[in-house]
Amino acid sequence: MAFPESFLQELTERNEITEVVSSYVKLTKKSGSNLFGLCPFHSEKTPSFSVASDKQIYHCFGCGKGGTVINFIMEIENLSYPDAVRFLARRVGMAVPEDEKDGNHSRREKMLQINRDAARFFYEQLSALNGEIARQYIKKREIAPAMVTRFGLGFAPDSWDSLAEAMLKKGYTKQELLDAGLARASKKGGGIYDTFRNRLMFPVIDIRGSVVGFSGRMLGDGEPKYMNSPETVVFNKSHNLFAMNLAKKSKMGYIILSEGNIDVVALHQAGFDCAVASLGTSLTPEQARLISRYVKEVVIAYDGDTAGQKASQRAISILQKLDIKVRVLRLSGAKDPDEYIKKFGAAAFENLLARSENHIEYRFSDIASKYGLNTEESRVAFLKEVTGLVAGLPNAVEREVYSRKAADMAKVSADAVLSEVERVRKKLLGQAKRKQESENSSPLRSRQPRARNMHYENIKSATAEKGILRLLYYEPTLFSDAVELAEEDFSVPLFGKMYREFKELTKYGSQPSLAPLAESFTNDEISILTEVLNGPLELSQSEKALNDYINIIKTEKLARQQISSAEENKLLDISNKLRESKSYRG
């Protein structure tokens, strides 16, 4: 919906961007009037995420994302534009105009409501007569009643449409059930049937305490054994972690990352309330960034099989990019944390945690196991792989420590390994430097937008168009009705649309703002506009710059029209000659 401009202005003023961003990102490094920190939207070790308090915008020079405080909340909380506005309004105690008027709920809020009611239904079914099979499974897995309540475990009955019928009686529509992924459309007759049937149900609750989806474990025969809700407006499994809503409150100072929901329940029951699990996938960068908002240490407790080891390696590579300390558990005598705790007890698991390897030692052991280290050839192969690993470590002390450890394992001199590590590191740094220099030395490439789906066909005109947008944003009084420039004059359609929107905002004397544009443009488009507004601007010569920009845009448009007309005439000429040729042969 369209929020009043005055409301959006007050909303962004009261939600000062540095205050909001600081609750997610540590902003410490200053550069001029800007604050810098590590970008929450991509992995980096050098801060390139900038927040400009004077402009009330953010921009990452690494991944290109940017915008206002509204865009930031949309990205970081995975919310739609209206829901990000409501989120910020709640933060400062403002009433949202549409809510005052008619109390309507957004599609997202409706979906959260139906998920909450579905979770209650599943929970109630666990105590019902037909829930005996689920209660027996819970007893078999030694899950205490307190954990059933803590996690809101439930039961999806072994029937076609018991949930659907219950939700329809509550007033929800078939389409709402389909949109929430709680039901599926029947191929015959236009009916619907339950997505989850005969399963132990685990509600997936986000960090704000909302039920966003479900994970169900099959209780009888059938596949798949585990099933998650499909992607919906509120649920994206790559952005959520099971039990993160509970683990974020833990005082343990680290997160235990496990593979399964049952493992998480078992760990919490044993007193390790910092356990979470990814939802049927390997750890994703988005999940890792979610973890990094709460802790800077992760213990990986995946299954000990080959698949678990591979998943551990993938998780390590993602987590270390976020400067998170990573340790890895080796589960000896049990296939997963749940089995280990049942066999050996919580105290034994705590000792195991204390003895867990850091990720370098873990990878060293894996590489050593792969090569055996029994022959000269195997030791050379081992050293070749580990020197590449050690060379990538940013800390010189770490490089020396692990170089000596590798030398010890391969039974060679430490000096030889240290020398090889530094040689490989120098090579890696050189490659990175040459790549950067190559990118910087290409003016055409550097002047193209970062967005992959956007390309400037006419860089000269696009550069002038960016200048126009900056002038219109920072000195709107220059633009009177006498300025002869229209949306169709722009070579970049997105810039033309932005020009039109800015002009509309200034028509009644308003100062252009990015906040009202967040509804009309995608976050990627707002990021492009933020990058444009962060470009160079010399307001002392603004009138001359305006005229120069307009002349360039008009001249380039005329040139494009002439080229287009010439190409059209050429094609027409070819077509006429082909017709004449056919007529002659006939």
The C-alpha atoms of residue 26 and residue 150 are separated, in whole angstroms, by 32
CA distances in angstroms from 563 to 455, 560, 571, listed in the order given:
19, 5, 12
Strand partners, 52: 34, 57
406 burial type by CB count under 10 A (0-12 exposed, 13-18 middle, 19+ buried): buried
DSSP string, 21-64: HHTTS---EEETTEEEE--SSS--SS--EEEETTTTEEEETTT-
pTM: 0.75
The C-alpha atoms of residue 455 and residue 377 are separated, in whole angstroms, by 50
Strand partners, 199: 156, 218
The C-alpha atoms of residue 402 and residue 389 are separated, in whole angstroms, by 10
Helix, strand, coil % (nearest 5) of the chain? 55, 10, 35
Q: What angle do CA 542, 506, 516 make, to 5 degrees?
A: 115
Structure tokens at 412: 């060679």
- For the chain, domains (ranges, CATH) are 5-102 (3.90.580.10), 107-228 (3.90.980.10), 244-355 (3.40.1360.10), 363-437 (no CATH), 459-567 (1.10.860.10)
Ranges of beta strands (E only) in 168-259 are: 183-185, 192-194, 199-205, 211-218, 226-228, 255-258
The C-alpha atoms of residue 73 and residue 87 are separated, in whole angstroms, by 8
pLDDT tens for the chain, 586 residues: list them. Answer: 578 888 888 898 899 999 999 988 888 877 667 899 989 888 777 888 999 887 888 999 888 889 999 999 998 988 888 889 989 999 999 988 865 544 444 678 889 999 999 999 999 999 999 999 999 999 999 999 999 999 999 999 999 999 999 999 999 999 999 999 999 998 877 799 999 999 999 999 998 889 999 999 999 888 888 999 999 988 988 889 999 999 999 999 999 999 999 999 999 999 999 999 998 778 998 899 889 888 989 999 998 888 888 899 899 988 988 878 999 999 889 999 999 999 999 999 999 999 998 989 999 988 998 898 889 999 999 999 999 999 988 788 989 999 999 999 999 999 999 999 999 999 988 887 776 666 545 444 445 565 556 677 888 888 899 998 888 888 887 777 667 788 899 999 999 998 888 888 776 556 677 887 777 888 888 888 888 888 776 666 788 888 899 899 989 888 878 776 666 666 666 666 666 665 555 5
User: In the chain, count of helices (H) and strands (E)?
Assistant: 25, 16
Among 341, 294, 346, 336, CA closest to 312: 336
Compute how many other C-beta atoms are within 10 angstroms of the C-beta atom of residue 434. 10
The C-alpha atoms of residue 169 and residue 177 are separated, in whole angstroms, by 12
518 burial type by CB count under 10 A (0-12 exposed, 13-18 middle, 19+ buried): buried
CA distances in angstroms from 213 to 150, 283, 362, 371, 502, listed in the order given:
17, 18, 34, 44, 39
Q: What 3-state class would DSSP assign to 358?
A: strand
Ranges of beta strands (E only) in 61-162 are: 66-67, 154-156
